[in-house]
Every structure is written in structure tokens, then in C-alpha cells.
Structure 1
């Protein structure tokens, strides 16, 4: 039996409902061109979870998938078009968009792909040129 905290989330219309359990592997903001286009915003708030920590409770048959590259399988609700999460098979993680888990205590730990930013954010959080070295990036920090 586990006493890890769970948080509920859903798509825009509520047809797809899910829970995340425990602590995410990481949280932050992504500034890459791909995330900006997918989210139609200048920055995307992410939470990264192991697949076993993400459970679709309702509406799995409503989930659509699109992958521009084999690195990211983007998921959305086919009823409302609301974006839900992105599976990253190479990392073994699922990015559940922070905005769709309303009660989760989101706290960014890093900005990734900051070299591509369109919106400068001066929040004192580490800004990486690309991604951490342990994830195949340079790990190079940038100024705010």
C-alpha cells in the first residue's frame, strides 16, 4: 500500500481524466520551437513522470496521438482538442502539461532550450541553452 499523494487532471472538456502519483522526475519550462508551436504559446510548463505514475482514469478511447518525430508522442483529447501530455520514449518519461493538473504544486526547477526563447523570464531559475548533459544536451547555462 502506498501513501503517495495523487493529483487529478483532465483535458479541457473533461472527457479524458487522469491522475499522477508521487513526485515528478522534473519540472520546468520548455522554450523549444516544437513545444511553442504545439502549445501555441511562447513557453510550455512541463512536469515529467515515469509512465507508471500516470494513469488514465476515463476517456482513454478519446486520446489522439501525433508524433512529428520519434522523440515525442503528443496526446490530446479528440472531443475538445485539449492537449494533455507528451510521451517521450527515449527518456522513458511522460510530460504532463502543468496547466492540466490544477491542484499540483508546480515549481519549476529549470528552463530548457532557453537559446530559443521568445519570452524572457527573469525568475532566478536556471536557464539551459538546450537540455541537461545527462539527457544528451550541453548542460550549458545562460544568463537571464
Structure 2
């Protein structure tokens, strides 16, 4: 079973993901853009049991603006690590946190909020797919 290692910006917190992600893609929502300080956030979604903190668990801080997203970061350097999504029972480990994982995006979510249109032929959901509690409505390229 494949596994990939990653760390925060300073290396105080290390994580490992095991197996295959449930999905990978790009999020365009205002919250992810603000949190990441970028025009789009690359995500990888994992089962909680597939994500292990191997070093520095005491250094992890959590900020939950909503009940849907519990964003986690290193309290030493402020480096972003992952977002736990309790309603979906998934963990978004930011693609940049696990640099050796071959990133193969399959969709865009919250494309209605985009500030950086991307023409890549991938499905673009106005919010999220129905199976994740969204409308499932698509945007056009």
C-alpha cells in the first residue's frame, strides 16, 4: 500500500498518508482562498484513518470557522497542514503538504466563486457534488 510523507513549513509537524485518496482537485471557495493566500487550493481527500501525525502532534493548532471545516496548522511556524471535514468524514491534506504524492486532479469545487478561471477540461461544480451534500450543478468552461 503506498504511503506519502509530508510536513509543515518548519518541519516540527510531520504526517503520513497511506493508501489512495478518495479524490483530488481544486477548491475555489473564498474560505480556502483566504486561508491559503492563493487564488485556488489544491486538495487531496483521505479517510481519517489514512492520515497519521508521525511527529509534533502537540504542535497542531485547529481553527474552525464553521462546523464543516476544521483547519489545522503548525503552532510553531503557522504552516498549513490539513482540514478535517467532520460531516463528510474526510480529511483534506493539502497537496503541497505531501509533495511526493502524484497530484491527479479530477474536479473543481466551488467554481462559482473562482477568481482564477482554469480551462483544463475537468468537471467544474458550482458548489460540490451531490454525494458530498452539494447541488451537483456544473459550471461551463
Deviation of the 1:47 alpha carbon? 0.3
1:80 to 73, 77, 80: 77
2:65 corresponds to which residue? 68
1:53 to 31, 46, 50: 50
Q: Secondary structure at the match of 1:128?
A: coil
Mapping 1:1-144, distance limit 5 Å: 4-144=1-141
Distance 2:11 2:32 in 1: 23
Deviation of the 1:141 alpha carbon? 1.3
Give the TM-score of the pair, scaled to structure 2.
Answer: 0.98
Structure 1 portions without partners, runs of 5+: none
CA-to-partner distance for each residue in 1:72-106, whole Å, 9 max, x for gaps?
11000011100000000000000000001010001
CA-to-partner distance for each residue in 1:105-132, whole Å, 9 max, x for gaps?
0110000000000001111111111100
Give the TM-score of the pair, scaled to structure 1.
Answer: 0.96
Deviation of the 1:54 alpha carbon? 0.2
Aligned-pair Cα RMSD in Å: 0.6
Q: Secondary structure at the match of 1:141?
A: coil
Structure 2 portions without partners, runs of 5+: none
Aligned length: 141
Q: Secondary structure at the match of 1:73?
A: strand
CA-to-partner distance for each residue in 1:10-56, whole Å, 9 max, x for gaps?
00111000100000011100000111111111100000000000000
Deviation of the 1:138 alpha carbon? 1.3
Deviation of the 1:134 alpha carbon? 1.2
Distance 1:7 1:66 in 2: 25
